[in-house]
Amino acid sequence: MKAAVFYGPNDMRLEEVPKPEITKDEILLKVNVSAVCGTDVRIYLGKKTKGVRTPSTIGHELVGTVAEVGDNVQEFVVGDRVGVMPVIPCGNCYYCQNGKENVCANRTAIGYEYDGGFAEYVRIPKTALQAKNIVKIPDHITFEQAVIAEPLACCLNGNKKANVKMNDTVVVIGGGPIGLMHVQLAKIAGAKQVILSELVGHRREKAIEAGADITVNPEQESLEQVVMDATDKLGADVVIMAIGVPQLVNGAVSLLKKGGTLNLFAGFTKGVLSELDPNIIHYNEINVNGTSALTRSNYHESLSLIVSGKINTDVITTQGYTLDDIQKAIEDVRDGVGMKSVIQIG
């Protein structure tokens, strides 16, 4: 089978590799569609290394069709259309036992410890099946829509951490696919207005399609001034950082009203620090929190939002890639050429 094998920073090779063999407790998934995540870009560039093996096949946003079923597996049959939650919780650690399975101390993941979705076939391990990480997809939605469920679930986790409420003003910094998912989720949660900051013009246009009320090019106008003008000088209720640029964190805090929440959703490069003015946090009673991965509940909820038509997946994705141009698919996300690169595999 074909697989894109990652050997190290900027070294991805399309190769012929053996099709995975499964045990009686596993299934083999024929990958129909994979998508490129910003985290895949960080892995490709060597900026994220935790859990990443070399050589290995990465890619953790994938949907497909069950191709083989182990003798002991009862809940799936060949031909089932399924989505994959890549993060597999252990179910036994302190975090799993206290409602934080997304930060499980012993978590493993497809696309990290297990080979991922930039391949024609993926072995789904017994642990993923036991944890109910494989979900059947309704027939009336496409694989291209369904592949968004995993990143949307991560954004939904962030939306809940940010505590977006009715009539809130929400600022989203970064207008890539993640930012546009946050725009839509904020609107679904009842936000009165959503302001999006993004340098790239076509992404600002997509943000309006996604439901943003105001878009800002921060190189040409003051984001803080726009936010203050839109909120009677109070500031935003919530700011979500959908781009991992440490230098922007302190400015994001200044956009908030007293008691507001800053959610650091995006991943940041390890060891690269941000400066924060503690006085603003102290005197304005600012809440600062982060978001990591997703829970299984988040995935089911996000899939339901897609199935019900509440999420516009078209503004989030750029179609037309195959495994043959996987490197371009990753580099286009890196360079902001399109939106989320969707890879047609089978």
Closest CA to 125 of 5, 16, 24: 24
Give the number of other Cβ atoms within 10 Å of residue 19's Cβ: 15
> Would you place residue 111 in the very low, low, confident or very high pLDDT band (cuts 50, 70, 90)?
very high
The DSSP-derived string for 261-302 is EEEE-S---TT------HHHHHHTT-EEEE--S--HHHHHHH
**What pTM was estimated for this model as a whole?**
0.96
Q: From the DSSP assignment, how many helices (H) and strands (E) are in the chain?
A: 11, 17
Q: Do domains 2-148+316-344 and 156-290 have the same CATH topology?
A: no
* Region 285-292 average pLDDT: 97
**Does residue 304 surpass a pLDDT of 90?**
yes
Instruction: Identify the CATH assignment for 156-290 out of 3.40.640.10, 3.40.50.720, 3.40.50.150, 3.30.470.10.
Output: 3.40.50.720
Q: Residue 262: its pLDDT value, please?
A: 98
Q: Residue 50: its pLDDT value, please?
A: 83
**209 in helix, strand or coil?**
helix
Q: What is the mean pLDDT of the chain?
A: 96
The fourth-level CATH superfamily of domain 2-148+316-344 is: Medium-chain alcohol dehydrogenases, catalytic domain (3.90.180.10)
Q: Residue 51: its pLDDT value, please?
A: 84
**Does residue 72 surpass a pLDDT of 90?**
yes
Q: For 10-60, how does the pLDDT look when each residue is reduced to its tens digit (9 = 90+)?
A: 999 999 999 999 999 999 999 999 999 999 999 999 988 888 999 999 999
Closest CA to 189 of 213, 160, 214: 160
- Residue 16 burial (10 A CB sphere; 0-12, 13-18, 19+): exposed
Q: Residue 270: its pLDDT value, please?
A: 84
Structure token digits, residue 103:
């930060």
To which residue do tokens 């959703």 refer?
265
To which residue do tokens 């640029």 refer?
245
Q: For 216-250, how does the pLDDT look when each residue is reduced to its tens digit (9 = 90+)?
A: 999 999 999 999 999 999 999 999 999 999 999 99
